[in-house]
Structure formats: structure tokens, C-alpha cells
């Protein structure tokens, strides 16, 4: 197969930031994706309806004019211990908030205001279940006594299993899964539970963090895991199961914030995201499953229409520059065997 045309895809998990960074990165996401679920971990986090509406307008302005394609940001509410179920329900009814994001406090970038005890969220989760608003979960415990490579699996044991049991009708997305345990949990769970998968967790195992020296641009959270986990996540992505779908977790940080004594977590993969995924599906002999993963499973889970329009990828070498808008992109300085050639809205 020399070219692959699929229905226009969506990114079900992205960090677009704000200000100058937003202006720099949003066009890359808008070029490849019709819609994106935008993470609310700004500083301060997007907890109010007014903040979410204003942020959505800034995103549309940053993404729009240059790309020539329509791009729709789908906004999320950052859950805190003080989450207000009425405001969240109102925002959902008004079409501002598509979903709400659970960050365990201090699990990752700008999560200091996250949830300290899941029981504090019970009334909010009850309401979200009642109104059909999905819960998006950063699935890691923050207990410093737990080895960082085990934090996802322990979260599943300690928190997620109970959530799924106690809220049987709540739609839950376990974001950016990285382990065999997560892939298995989602496979075994009811149809209310799904997962997003990033390109980096399909390409990298934890050796990438230390290849010839410390590699800050391979550092994201949840951190990449052992090879057996990468293979399990790959198998899930290409399985054709509607429970797994595309979510890049593109998370840009300035180069000096990455290349520091205490560097930030996050991989900026937006410029070549589709190419990066296509390489994996090709390597797995599963190009026929790519459209489902990229363009169908997500909207069906969220109860949104499939996109019109299409994108075409061609089997030819894409050269990834060392820098893109002064940031280090995923696959920096490398090549990918697929390139997006066409996007029709």
C-alpha cells in the first residue's frame, strides 16, 4: 500500500498551552486533526466556565486563519477538591465542556490543584454519570513510596477498579496508557471504559530515556515503560477494539525547560503525529485498523459525529527537523516512512 486515505481524524488528548506557545503549536494540531480534546492544566487551571469559553476562543484564533481547515477545540474542566457539580453540569449543557479531567494532585505538570482524595469527587461524578459527561483520568498514584514505573498499575488497583464498579454508567477514559496492566484492564472492563494511546508509548521503551546519556526529550508522564509494556500497548492500539483511540498527549515545553537539572515532562509530537502513528500501524501490519483508531473509535465513545473530509498519508520519507518553532519535536532529526500529503475539510 503506497498511500492511505482516512476519514479526518481527531486528537482525543492534547496540551495546547496559552499565549505565545499556543500560537506556535495550535496550527500543527489543526493541520492534522478536525477536533481535539484540550487539556485544562494551564496555570491557573481551567476550572470555570468563563475561563474555558475564553480559552476556547483563543485556541480558535491561534489555530484558524493559517490552516485553511476547520478546527474545533473540545474543552475540558479541570477537577479540583472543590469541584462544583452544578457549574460542571451547566457547562456541559451549554456545550462548553465536553468532559472533565481528573489529575491526582501533583501527578504531573500543573496538577498541584488536582484531586487529593477521590471521595471528595463523589457528588460530581454522580452528576457526570447522570448527564453522560465523560471522565478523563490521569491514571497514576502520587504516593512517593510507589516506584514511578508502577504508578499506573497501582492506580488501577487502588482507584480505577473501584470507580468503574461504583459508577457503572460513567464513561471513563484512561488517558495515555503505558502498561500491559492498563491495556488488559480496559479490555476486560465494560464498554463504558476506554483508553487513549500516544505515539511515544508505541515507539519508546524506557531504554530510550538513557540511550547513550540522559534523554530529556523522551521524558513524559506517565513515563515510558519496559519493552513488554510497549508491545502490549501496541497490540491494543492495532487490535481494532473500539476501546482504544488516538490521543497524542502532545505536551510542548520550551527547550530550556526540558534540558534542565529538573526538566519538565512532556513530548511535543503534534507536527508529525499522524506519521508517527502510521509507522506503527504499518510495522504491525495493521494499516487497515488505522482509520478506526484515528477517526472512528473516539467520536463513537464520546457520542459525537464522525468527521467529514479526509486526510491522505503517503509512503515516502518525512524528514523531521531538529527544531520546530524553537521546540524539539518527537522524532527530532529522524525520518518517518509516511507523510501526510493532503487534508480536505
The 3-state DSSP class for residue 145 equals coil
From candidates 10, 11, 140, 249, binder to Zn ion by CB under 5 A: 249
249 as an active site residue: the answer is: yes
Contacts of 17 (CB under 8 A, 6+ apart): 25, 42, 252
Q: Is 274 in the site for ligand DOR (CB under 6 A)?
A: no
Catalytic: which of 249, 256, 282, 322?
249
Site for ligand DOR in 30-59 (CB under 6 A): 41
Q: Going along the chain, which residue ranges are E strands?
A: 3-7, 11-14, 35-38, 72-78, 97-102, 135-137, 172-174, 193-197, 244-246, 310-314, 318-319, 335-336, 339-344
Tracing cell 518525512 back to the chain, one arrives at 318
From candidates 208, 265, 304, 320, binder to ligand DOR by CB under 6 A: 265
Contact 231, 183 (CB under 8 A): no
Tell me the window of 188-196, 249-257, 272-280, 286-294 that interacts with Zn ion (CB under 5 A): 249-257
Residue 19 region by backbone torsions, left for phi larger than 0, else alpha for psi between -120 and 50, else beta: left
Instruction: Find the farthest-apart pair of alpha carbons in the chain and give their distance in angstroms, rounded.
Output: 52
**Measured from the CB atom, is 11 or 249 closer to Zn ion?**
249
Q: How far is the CB of 130 from Zn ion (least distance, A)?
A: 27
**Measured from the CB atom, is 313 or 328 closer to ligand DOR?**
328
Q: Under rule CB under 6 A, how many of the chain's residues touch ligand DOR?
A: 10
Tell me the window of 18-26, 73-81, 241-249, 329-337 that interacts with Zn ion (CB under 5 A): 241-249
Site for Zn ion in 25-84 (CB under 5 A): none
**Measured from the CB atom, is 6 or 175 closer to Zn ion?**
175
In DSSP notation, 238-263 reads TT--TTEEE---B----HHHHSSTTP
Site for ligand DOR in 104-163 (CB under 6 A): 108-109, 138
Q: Is 251 in the site for ligand DOR (CB under 6 A)?
A: yes
End-to-end CA distance of the chain: 24
115 binds, among Zn ion, ligand DOR, none (CB under 5 to 8 A by kind): none
Site string for ligand DOR, 65-104 (x = CB under 6 A): ----------------------------------------
Give the alpha-carbon dihedral of 318, 319, 321, 327, to 10 degrees: 30
Residues in touch with ligand DOR (CB under 6 A):
15, 41, 108-109, 138, 220-221, 251, 265-266
Residues acting as catalytic residues: 249
Amino acid at each position: 500500500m503506497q498511500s492511505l486515505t482516512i476519514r479526518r481524524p481527531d486528537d482525543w488528548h492534547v496540551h495546547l498551552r496559552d499565549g505565545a506557545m499556543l500560537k506556535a503549536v495550535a496550527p500543527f494540531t489543526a493541520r492534522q486533526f478536525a477536533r481535539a480534546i484540550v487539556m485544562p492544566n494551564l496555570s491557573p487551571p481551567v476550572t470555570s466556565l468563563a475561563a474555558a469559553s475564553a480559552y476556547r476562543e483563543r485556541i480558535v484564533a491561534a489555530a484558524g486563519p493559517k490552516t485553511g481547515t476547520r478546527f474545533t477545540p473540545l474543552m475540558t474542566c479541570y477537577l479540583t477538591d472543590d469541584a462544583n457539580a452544578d457549574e460542571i453540569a451547566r457547562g456541559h449543557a451549554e456545550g462548553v465542556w465536553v468532559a472533565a479531567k481528573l489529575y491526582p494532585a501533583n501527578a504531573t505538570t500543573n496538577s498541584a490543584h488536582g484531586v487529593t482524595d477521590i471521595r471528595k469527587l463523589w457528588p460530581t461524578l454522580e452528576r457526570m454519570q447522570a448527564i453522560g459527561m465523560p471522565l478523563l483520568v490521569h491514571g497514576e498514584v502520587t504516593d512517593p513510596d510507589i516506584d514511578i514505573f508502577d504508578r499506573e498499575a497501582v492506580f488501577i488497583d487502588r482507584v480505577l477498579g473501584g470507580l468503574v464498579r461504583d459508577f457503572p454508567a460513567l464513561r471513563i477514559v484512561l488517558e495515555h496508557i503505558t502498561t500491559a496492566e492498563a491495556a488488559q484492564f480496559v479490555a476486560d472492563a465494560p464498554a463504558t471504559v476506554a483508553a487513549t494511546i500516544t505515539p511515544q508509548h508505541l515507539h519508546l521503551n524506557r531504554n530510550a530515556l538513557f540511550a547513550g546519556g540522559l534523554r530529556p526529550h523522551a521524558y513524559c508522564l506517565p513515563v515510558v515503560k519496559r519493552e513488554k509494556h510497549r508491545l502490549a500497548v501496541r497490540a491494543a492500539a492495532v487490535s481494532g477494539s473500539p476501546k482504544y483511540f488516538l490521543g497524542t498527549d502532545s505536551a510542548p515545553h520550551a527547550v530550556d525547560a526540558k534540558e534542565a537539572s529538573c526538566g519538565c515532562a512532556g513530548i511535543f509530537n503534534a507536527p508529525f503525529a499522524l506519521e508517527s502513528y502510521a509507522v506503527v500501524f504499518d510495522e504491525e501490519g495493521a494499516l487497515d485498523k488505522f482509520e478506526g483508531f484515528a477517526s472512528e473509535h473516539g467520536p463513537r465513545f464520546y457520542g459525537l459525529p464522525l468527521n467529514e473530509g479526509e486526510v491522505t498519508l503517503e509512503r515516502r520519507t518525512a524528514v523531521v527537523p531538529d527544531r520546530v518553532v524553537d521546540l524539539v519535536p518527537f522524532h527530532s532529526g529522524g525520518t518517518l516512512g509516511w507523510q501526510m500529503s493532503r487534508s480536505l475539510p
